[in-house]
Amino acid sequence: MAIIPNDEKFFGRIKCRKLTDRQAFLFEKFKDKLFISSMDEAKIRGFDVFLEIGFGSGEHIAQMALSNSTGLYIGCEPFINGVASLLAKIEANNIKNILIHQGDARQFIKQIPESSIAGAFLLFPDPWHKRRHIERRFIKEKTIIEMARILKSNACWRIATDHDEYQKWLLKNFNLENIVSIFSYKLFDNATRLPEETWPKTRYEKKASSKILFMSATKMLS
């Protein structure tokens, strides 16, 4: 396996609560079956592959996988407790079409083949609201260009945030001159968001008290 240079330091949480015995058992049970460090051709062959960047507790990716058995969903999440929560959902619902990268999505994305992802999700990313931390945000010009590289033509990238300043940041970056020629987008709010059957709500969305901006960005034909 090629070693991908780690040229971006990771700043997010890795672990919070100590794993229960049950959670530790699930990690052991699924470690060889579900966890991947890079795109495994043997495991993705024959599927439309979808990517979720930071799946939190796994509500969204689990529901998407259950509703689309012909798709394969790869979730990137470094937070161990979040991964444990998703593993519990996978076992409880006998989900067969999820793979997990327990680590920094940015490094994982760098080795994904060009035009191989059928859709992507970035839901309520850390806004890194302090000015000195802005460069830590996932959304920025070079990352958007990298996402365009891995997405298939006409693939949709769904993004949501309830942070006012991040909403402005999101629009600013997707309106950059070299980005508007790659992605077109539609915007929704709490009232006009896509139906929950096609865009499942996360626990974070359900408790959000402020206005949410939903973006559906579509990669234009290459």
- Which residues, in sequence order, are CB contacts of 133 under 8 Å at separation 6+? 11
Q: Catalytic residue among 21, 32, 126, 164, which? A: 126
Residue whose C-alpha is closest to residue 38's, from 74, 83, 12 = 74
Would you state the structure tokens that stand for residue 170, as one six-digit string?
Answer: 């999101």
| Tokens coding 141 | 């010009």
Beta bridge partners of 74: 51, 99
Asked if 126 is an active-site residue, the reply is yes
Alpha helices (H) along the chain: 21-30, 41-44, 59-67, 80-93, 105-110, 141-150, 164-174, 203-207
Q: Residue 222's closest CA among 166, 181, 162?
A: 181
**141/119 Cα distance (integer angstroms):** 19
| Total residue count of the chain as it appears in this document | 222
Nearest 5°: the CA angle 160, 164, 167 is 45
Residues 6+ positions from 5 with CB-CB distance below 8 Å: none
- Catalytic positions, please? 126
